[in-house]
Structure 1
């Protein structure tokens, strides 16, 4: 934590966020496949662990063992944290009743029990898929995010971008309900091979933030946002 901010620990990104996320808020990372949404979530968790915080990662796509593998592959020694300050939970979104109950009821209790400071859900899009209509989806997601805020944890949700609009989430909803929205996308130049990853902080309630689009890079053991560079 830097002052009263919750840091990502990603060079350049915290600078764009005026030092990091505001404690107790909900942030969303929206992006297309391959943009590194899960990477952002894991760096957010690792930064918390290094700060002595308790963290929870909810995965709706990957097995728990795969998440542990990804973290170790970055050179992180997570062994001292597993089952203590680091909790990884896999949910099966195909079982409607189980998934709904787990996210709405069991997750808040888990946050209370572990005293989690940071919570990530990857991807929240699969939870949104469970609802049949837009009105129910909006109502339930609004209640869920408000519950997270009431638990005094700082939450990060990843969301798949809409197939037809890379600037929007699948249901064009989570960006309105979140306090902070970080957009990831591909930026293509004139050349076919001239492709970069670009990041933009499009929204941050209660705080100033960078409104520039910046290139970023995913390396084996680090992520870097190049705040001094332009995309093209």
Structure 2
């Protein structure tokens, strides 16, 4: 039912998801560089702000000022929301103890304090990089994700693809922990005339969803997903 859905704010994509994400679920946006992972997460943030929701945006890559500039370049006036209903936090992934503690221990508390209903971690793959072994990474990520499921918020995680597999996240883990997985990638026609962007909803628990691959465009002020079109 649409009443139980949380819209990302990208009409064609929300249509592919059956009206949006399941409320209080975890969604991963996976793609290589230049496919718009941060742009998709910012659309998710702006949609929530328009609905008067409280939102936390954790950035492990871009500075707070850059994130706000990206939103302003889209024509969104975010200043009235900053530190009132929008909380942007920049973490340094090279400082293991600080980043690890703030994400694992402080984020759940902050979600409760500000009553956040949407949370973004961009990119989660830099947090995954903090762990030195696959077994430690699996254990810590499972505990972290399961802890967030009790916080009454819808979560969006972004991840780079694996360097040898464009269909997998960097560590091949987050897609198994997420309820919804959206894959962004390049499509190169056989004649090499142009490079196009395409997405697919690889997985969505508890919901029917489109399994078709659809083209999309990253425009200055919006993301256009052509849910009625076919990929070339």
Q: What pairs up with 1:52-91 in 2 under 5 angstroms?
A: 52-91=52-91
Aligned-partner SS, 1:166: strand
Deviation at 1:79, TM superposition (A): 1.3
Aligned-partner SS, 1:161: strand
Q: Which residue of 2 aligns with 1:145?
A: 145
Runs of 4+ in 1 over 6 A off after TM superposition: none
Q: Which residue of 1 aligns with 2:231?
A: 231
Q: Which residue of 1 aligns with 2:14?
A: 14
Aligned length: 232
Distance (Å, rounded) in 1 between the aligned partners of 2:226 and 2:167: 21
TM-score (norm 1): 0.98
Distance (Å, rounded) in 2 between the aligned partners of 1:51 and 1:191: 44
Distance (Å, rounded) in 1 between the aligned partners of 2:188 and 2:209: 25
Aligned-partner SS, 1:168: strand
Distance (Å, rounded) in 2 between the aligned partners of 1:193 and 1:10: 28
Give CA-to-partner distance per residue, 1:105-142, whole Å, 9 cap, x none: 11111111110000000000000000011111011111
TM-score (norm 2): 0.98
Aligned-partner SS, 1:167: strand
What CA RMSD, in Å, does the superposition of the two structures yield over aligned residues?
1.0
Distance (Å, rounded) in 2 between the aligned partners of 1:131 and 1:190: 40
Give CA-to-partner distance per residue, 1:13-42, whole Å, 9 cap, x none: 000000001111111000000000000000
Structure 1: unaligned runs, 5 residues or longer: none
Q: Which residue of 1 aligns with 2:171?
A: 171
Q: Which residue of 1 aligns with 2:195?
A: 195
Q: What pairs up with 1:23-42 in 2 under 5 angstroms?
A: 23-42=23-42
Q: Which residue of 2 aligns with 1:48?
A: 48
Deviation at 1:45, TM superposition (A): 0.5
